[in-house]
Structure 1
Amino acid sequence: MKRALLSKNKYKFVNGEILEPLCNDVKYEARERCNVTVVSWITRSLNTQIEQSTVYIDNAKDLWKDLEERFSKGSHFRISDLLQEINSIKQGEKSINEYYIDSKTLWEELDSLHPLPACTCKSKCTCNVIKTIAGYRELERIMCFLKGLEESYNIVKTQVIFMDPLPGVNRFFSLVLQQERHLNENSGYKNPHQQCQPIWSKDERKEQWY
């Protein structure tokens, strides 16, 4: 729901950034129309029982706060479950693409429930701490993805670990997908998990390792 509101530039109605104007303000009616629209969007996304419990809340900010207070504790348990799933997910019989999609789905749900902090400095921040934190989270995801790969990808696992700096998640996925294609071509699609060969030449590998 947050993404939908952000995409329509209406999230400020629920986070308190847009204050309610006075009744005689020229912006009052326009703001009220937008408020009713946002309330309608939110209530339509709720199941019937929850919707009935919010029928008398006509302010978007109050409605959002009410739902957040009621259901935020449940999200803590979901965050715990997601962290466990992310750290234990395995490729198994899935293709690299299927394995990546399953992993990415978990990552995105975690991001929605436990987003990275945003800088609130009045002046432009120069320490790049948020970028550093995001880098740590991406590194953790690459490590979890690597750990869950089948043994046939052991060589590519080692090669990626020795890359400095490590590639981003998307670039990393592209490299592993490339290796899967190489495996399938060599095996004639009979055994996609046979021991893989390096995806870089000797000179390229030397450059990556040193």
Structure 2
Amino acid sequence: MLPDTLFRNNRLLGDLNLSVLNKLGSPPERLLTGLSRLENITLLDCNFTSIPEKFFAYAGNMKNIRMVNNRLTSLPANLFKENTKLLNLDLSYNDLNELPLTVFEKQFVLETLIFYRNNFVTLKAGPFDNLISLKVLSFEYNFIESIEQETFQRLQKLEDLKLGRNKLKVLEGNAPFGLNKKLKRVDLSRTTLFSSQTS
């Protein structure tokens, strides 16, 4: 168990790697309190099943978060509310299957968002609406069968969309690609996509 006062006197800390602390279950909510200069955190193979809603709130200058290969099944709605400078977020190798509507409400400068190998079946409209700077979005190796028509509508700077290795069968019209003129790369490889409906 990590004490929540562990880094209380390390005000200059800019990079934190807590990988392979695999007996935590969930990190202490106030572990990052006072780390106003923290920009990078790696939480790889920590066996997290949950994460406190205010865990990142005490490190408002965070730019890069890697929570990879844990057992997260959900994210608190306000988990990243104070992280308005976040540029890159990697949530690969978890068990996520749904996103709260407001989880990325303040991430106006986020550029890269990775959900490689999770358990998504449907991608719904709403959670991505404020990601106006997003360039790379990856949902490879999920179980995605459907994408709501307006899911990626506001991602006007998106350049790279990775949807390969899913269970997509039918896309409606030109969704989710029709409104985005900056797309340079789309990966639909190894899906079960066989036709496209027109509305």
Q: TM-score, normalised by structure 1?
A: 0.24
| Structure having the higher Rg | 1
Q: TM-score, normalised by structure 2?
A: 0.24
Structure 1 or 2: more strand by fraction: 2
| Larger relative contact order (Cα-Cα within 8 Å, sequence gap ≥ 6) | 1
Structure 1 or 2: more helix by fraction: 1
